[in-house]
Structure formats: structure tokens, C-alpha cells
A and B are shown apart, each in its own frame.
Chain A
Amino acid sequence: MKEVELDCLGEACPVPLVKAEKKLKELEIGDVLIVQIDHSCAMKNVPEWARKEGHNVEIEEVDDGEWEVIIEKVK
């Protein structure tokens, strides 16, 4: 089980979502992907996509306008 950080700071939609989808595909089940985001629109579509795919998702507000979406790959 490893933890991978994905830096999407400064990236606008739909780049964070596309990057997260790509990265998660490379990971094994049980791995955790931490997507760093500072674009509020990506804060809506990245967690939405990950939850719909059935992964465990947690959101942490790191700073003003900066979040980490923590995705645990479950399948």
C-alpha cells in the first residue's frame, strides 16, 4: 500500500480530473491518491467522479482555497 501525491495546484478544469483519472489507473487496489487542488470547480468534479467509481473519498481543507482530495482505490 503506497501513498501518491498528485500536484494539481494552479490547474483549472478539466485538467485535475483528467490527471486524477490517469494516475488512479496506475495505482494498485488499496493505494491512496492525494490530489492537491486549488480550483473550486475541480473540488466538485474530482470527488464526485471518485465516489461514483466507488472509491473511498475524503476531503481536507489545507488552506484558504486549497484542498486535498484523498482517494483510496478500492477496486
Chain B
Amino acid sequence: MEIKKNKYYKLWLKDAWPYLTGAVLLSLFQIVTLAVTGNPWGVSGILANWGAWLWEAVGGSVDKWYYFASEGAQKTLNGGFLNHGGSLRNLGIIVGALTATLLASGFKIKKIKSWRQIAAAVLGGLLMGYGARIGFGCNIGALFSGIASLSLSGWVYAVFLFLGAIVGSKLLVKYFM
């Protein structure tokens, strides 16, 4: 029997899982993350380290940067990528997403349609990255982990995330479509 016609292949690998399944699994794994590492799950803070390593790789230095001034931050940076659990986890997210896409035979290199798309992506990325660092967290570290640890800040984040998404969608439709 061809694997593409197999019921379980379709159910588990080919078709998207229901939102509920995803939500339950994300909750379970973030509990495991908190229990094992002692830190709540975060994503974008780690990307700041990646940026610092990239900057150092081209000869720059972040020793004097306020953001990386603490002893802990310096220790993480000096320890390198492979000794940083969060970096490996982020790498796992990328590899896992790629694997899921390949198993569903949904991998495709997409065309870039217009300069507007590039502008929107760059602008959106910069705003999200800047906002995530200045706000001490992204939708994972500040929103998801915040709410999961019964922090009020997570809910405040949620309200403004929603407002921002409304404004962002309007701008997207008006200027980038």
C-alpha cells in the first residue's frame, strides 16, 4: 500500500494537527522545560545571543554593551553555541519544523514576489526584534511563559498584542498588498 494513502500517514504527518492538540503539547513541553532547566521557555532572547555571536564572528565586540554587561550574559556568550541549552532548543525548533514539512512533502522554496514583500518582512522583523528585547520577551517568553506562570504582565502583553495585530493588519492591507 502506498504510504500517501495510509490513514495514519495522513492523520499524523500529512494533515495539520488541530489547534487543540498543538496547544496541549506546547503546554506540556513548556512545563517540562521549566521543570528541567529552571527557566521558562523563551525564544527571542536567545536570538540576541546569536546576533552577538555573529557580530563577534565578523570581528565585533559586545563586551561594552549594556545588554550583555552582566556576568551571566558574558558567561553564556563565552561558553559558545553548543554549551547554550536555549540555542540548541531554538535549533531544534528549526530542524523540527523542517522535518515536519519534509515528512508531509510540503517543502518548497518560495518566490519573492515584490520589493514590497521584502520591505514588509525586514520592517516587521526589525520591529518585532526590537520590541521583544525592549519588552523583555516575545510572544513565547513574555506572553506564553508569562501567562503560564500566572504573571499579570503576560495578560497585559496579550491585550496589546491584539491591538498591535489589528493596527498591523490594517497597515499590511493598506501598504503592502
Residues on A lying within 8 angstroms of B by beta carbon are: 9-11, 14-15, 18-19, 38-40, 43-44, 63-66
Contact = CB atoms under 8 A, between A and B. Distances in A.
Contacts of B169: 14
Contacts of A63: 108
B173 interface: yes
Given A9-B111, A10-B112, A40 B173 contact: no
Contacts of B110: 9-10, 38-39
B contacts with A: majority SS: loop
Interface residues on B, range: 10 to 19
A65 B108 contact: yes
Interface of B: 16, 101, 105-108, 110-113, 117, 169, 172-173, 177
A64 B108 contact: yes
A66 B105 CA distance: 10
Given A18-B173, A40-B101, A66 B16 contact: no
B94 to A, nearest CB: 16
Contact of A40 (B106, B111, B113, B177): B106
Contacts of A9: 110-111, 113
A65 B106 contact: yes
